[in-house]
C-alpha cells in the first residue's frame, strides 16, 4: 500500500496528453484557450462619435454651426466637413473627414438649419473614440490558459475572431457495477439499493464543465463488464469504474482491467475512505476503479480524478487543495491512514458533521467539501489547519 502523496505523484507523472480543438466562440464557454490570440484589426476601426450630437471642426470661439448632413451608426461619410459646419451624428457613427469634436445634443439649441452653443462648451477632441483606442492591430488580446468567460469571448468577437483553439474537454466513460443497484425512481426489491454513484460522477463532471461520453450501469458479470471496458478504453481519455474493486468473490474489475492491458499505477492506498482505489493507464487513457461506497467515490473523485480532468482541460497546479481551514472539533483516527472527512466550510472553519462512514451520504445535507487529516496523527485537534478540497 502506498501513501496519498505517492499516489498523486504517480498520477502526475502518467497524465494523459492534453488535446486541442478549434471551436466556434459560441461553444467556448468555460473552456481554456490553448494559444495566444492576436487582433487582426484596430478596434475601433475608425474614429467615431461617443455621443448623440453634432460633429464639427473645433475652433476656439465657434458657437454657431450650419448643420449640413446626418450620420448614423453604420453610415460611411464621404463628404468633407468645413469650418463653421456641423453634421448631425449618432453614437458609433464614423466621424466625417475634417471634423475632430462632437458636442452632445443636450448642450445645443437648434435655430433653423443651425445649432448654437456656449463658448467652450466642449474641449477639442471631446466625445470622439479614436481608432485603435481599445485594441491595436497585432496586439495580444487573450493569452494561452485564459478561461473563456463571457468577457473574454466578447473581446474576441470585437476583433472579429469567430473560432478559438482550445483544450478539448476530456472524453470520460463511466461504468457503474453492482447486481444490487436500482435506478432512482424505480421500486426497490428486497436486497436492492438505489444507485447513487451514477449521478454523483455525472454531476461532479458537469461541475467541471464535462459531460460524460458514456455512462454504463452493469451487473457483476464479466461479459458485460468486458464489453463496456473495451468501448471506454477505445474512446475515452479517462475511464471511471465504481464497485467491484475490493476482494469479494464478485469483484472482477481488477482482473479484467489487467487482462485488457491496463498497466497498474497503484492498487490500494493508505487512506480512508477509498482504500481499494486502483489507478492505471493504457496508451493515452487513464483508468480509475473506485471502490463502490458512494463516499469513497466522492472523496477519490475529488482527490485524484478531478485534478486529472482539470489538467486535461488546460489548468495547471490541479492537485493543490482549494483552501486551508481550521478543523472545528477534535477527530480521533487510526494512525497510518490519511483521512478525508466530509465537512461543511464556513469562512473560518471546516465543520465536521456526524456520520463519517463511507456509506453515509447524510452529511451531504450541507457538507460541501472534504478535509484532509494527515496520516501520522492519532487525534487531530480543534483548530488544526487542514487542507480542504471542493467539488
CB of 10 to ligand AMP, least distance (A): 22
Would you put residue 284 in left (φ > 0), alpha (ψ -120 to 50) or beta?
Answer: alpha
Residues that bind ligand AMP (CB under 6 A): 176, 178, 180-181, 193, 195-197, 242-246, 248, 291-294
List of residues 6+ apart from 334 with CB closer than 8 A = 272, 378
3-state helix, strand, coil in the chain (%, to 5): 20, 30, 50
Pairing of strands 238-242, 172-177: parallel
Q: Which stretch binds Mg ion (CB under 5 A): 42-50, 71-79, 172-180, 203-211?
A: 172-180
Nearer to ligand AMP among residue 85 and residue 196 (C-beta): 196
Nearer to ligand AMP among residue 61 and residue 191 (C-beta): 191
Cell of 244: 467491484
CA–CA gap between residue 98 and residue 58 (Å, rounded):
10
Residue 291 within binding range of Mg ion, rule CB under 5 A: no
Exactly one of 243, 280, 294, 314 binds Mg ion (CB under 5 A); that residue is 243
Q: Which stretch binds Mg ion (CB under 5 A): 11-19, 71-79, 170-178, 199-207?
A: 170-178
CA distances (Å), 367 to each of 221, 364, 390, in order?
35, 5, 10
CB of 129 to ligand AMP, least distance (A): 59
Cell of 41: 484589426
CB of 220 to ligand AMP, least distance (A): 8
CA–CA gap between residue 64 and residue 59 (Å, rounded):
11
Q: Which of 89, 70, 80 is nearest to 129 (CA)?
A: 89
CA–CA gap between residue 154 and residue 26 (Å, rounded):
10
CB of 245 to ligand AMP, least distance (A): 6
196 binds, among ligand AMP, Mg ion, none (CB under 5 to 8 A by kind): ligand AMP
Name residues contacting Mg ion, limited to 177-196 (CB under 5 A).
178
Residue 276 within binding range of Mg ion, rule CB under 5 A: no
293 binds, among Mg ion, ligand AMP, none (CB under 5 to 8 A by kind): ligand AMP
Residue entry with cell 478559438? 164
261 binds, among ligand AMP, Mg ion, none (CB under 5 to 8 A by kind): none
Nearer to Mg ion among residue 224 and residue 374 (C-beta): 224
Q: Which stretch binds Mg ion (CB under 5 A): 265-273, 290-298, 348-356, 382-390?
A: 290-298
Cα 73 to the center of its chain, rounded Å: 37
CB of 150 to ligand AMP, least distance (A): 36
Nearer to ligand AMP among residue 50 and residue 193 (C-beta): 193
85 binds, among Mg ion, ligand AMP, none (CB under 5 to 8 A by kind): none
Q: Which of 244, 340, 357 is nearest to 301 (CA)?
A: 340
- The answer to whether 361 touches 310, Cβ cutoff 8 Å, is no
Query: Which residue ranges make up the site for Mg ion (CB under 5 A)?
Result: 178, 243-244, 292
Amino acid at each position: 500500500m502506498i501513501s496519498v502523496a505517492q499516489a498523486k505523484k504517480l498520477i502526475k507523472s502518467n497524465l494523459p496528453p492534453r488535446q486541442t480543438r478549434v471551436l466556434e466562440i459560441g461553444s467556448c464557454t468555460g473552456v481554456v484557450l490553448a494559444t495566444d490570440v492576436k487582433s487582426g484589426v484596430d478596434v475601433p476601426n475608425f474614429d467615431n462619435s461617443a455621443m448623440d450630437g453634432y460633429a464639427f471642426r473645433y475652433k476656439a470661439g465657434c458657437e454657431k454651426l450650419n448643420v449640413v448632413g446626418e450620420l448614423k451608426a453604420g453610415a460611411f461619410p464621404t463628404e468633407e466637413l468645413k469650418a463653421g459646419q456641423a453634421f448631425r451624428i449618432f453614437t458609433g457613427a464614423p466621424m466625417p473627414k475634417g471634423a475632430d469634436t462632437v458636442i452632445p445634443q443636450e448642450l445645443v439649441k437648434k435655430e433653423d438649419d443651425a445649432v448654437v452653443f456656449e463658448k467652450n462648451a466642449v474641449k477639442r477632441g471631446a466625445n470622439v473614440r479614436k481608432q485603435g483606442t481599445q485594441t491595436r492591430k497585432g496586439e495580444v488580446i487573450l493569452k494561452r490558459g485564459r478561461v473563456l468567460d463571457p468577457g473574454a469571448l466578447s473581446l474576441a468577437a470585437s476583433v472579429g475572431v469567430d473560432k478559438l483553439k482550445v483544450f478539448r474537454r476530456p472524453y470520460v466513460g463511466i461504468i457503474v457495477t453492482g447486481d444490487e443497484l436500482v435506478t432512482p425512481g424505480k421500486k426497490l426489491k428486497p436486497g436492492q439499493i438505489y444507485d447513487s454513484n451514477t449521478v454523483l460522477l455525472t454531476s461532479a463532471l458537469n461541475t467541471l464543465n464535462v459531460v460524460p461520453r458514456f455512462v454504463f450501469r452493469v451487473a457483476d458479470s464479466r461479459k458485460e463488464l468486458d464489453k463496456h471496458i473495451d468501448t471506454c478504453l477505445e474512446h475515452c481519455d479517462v475511464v471511471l469504474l465504481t464497485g467491484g474493486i475490493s476482494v469479494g468473490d464478485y469483484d472482477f474489475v481488477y482482473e479484467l482491467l489487467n487482462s485488457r492491458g491496463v498497466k497498474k499505477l497503484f492498487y490500494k492506498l493508505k487512506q480512508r475512505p477509498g482504500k481499494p482505489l486502483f489507478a492505471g493507464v493504457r496508451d493515452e487513457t487513464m483508468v480509475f476503479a473506485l471502490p463502490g461506497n458512494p463516499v469513497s467515490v466522492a472523496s477519490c473523485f475529488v482527490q485524484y480524478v478531478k485534478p486529472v480532468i482539470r489538467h486535461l482541460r488546460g489548468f495547471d497546479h490541479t492537485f493543490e487543495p482549494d483552501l486551508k481551514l481550521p478543523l472545528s472539533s477534535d477527530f480521533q483516527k487510526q494512525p497510518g491512514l490519511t483521512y478525508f472527512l466530509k465537512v461543511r466550510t464556513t469562512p473560518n472553519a471546516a465543520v465536521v458533521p456526524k456520520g463519517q462512514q463511507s456509506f453515509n451520504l447524510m452529511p451531504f445535507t450541507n457538507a460541501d467539501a472534504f478535509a484532509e487529516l494527515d496520516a501520522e496523527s492519532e487525534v487531530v485537534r480543534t483548530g488544526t489547519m487542514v487542507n480542504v478540497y471542493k467539488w
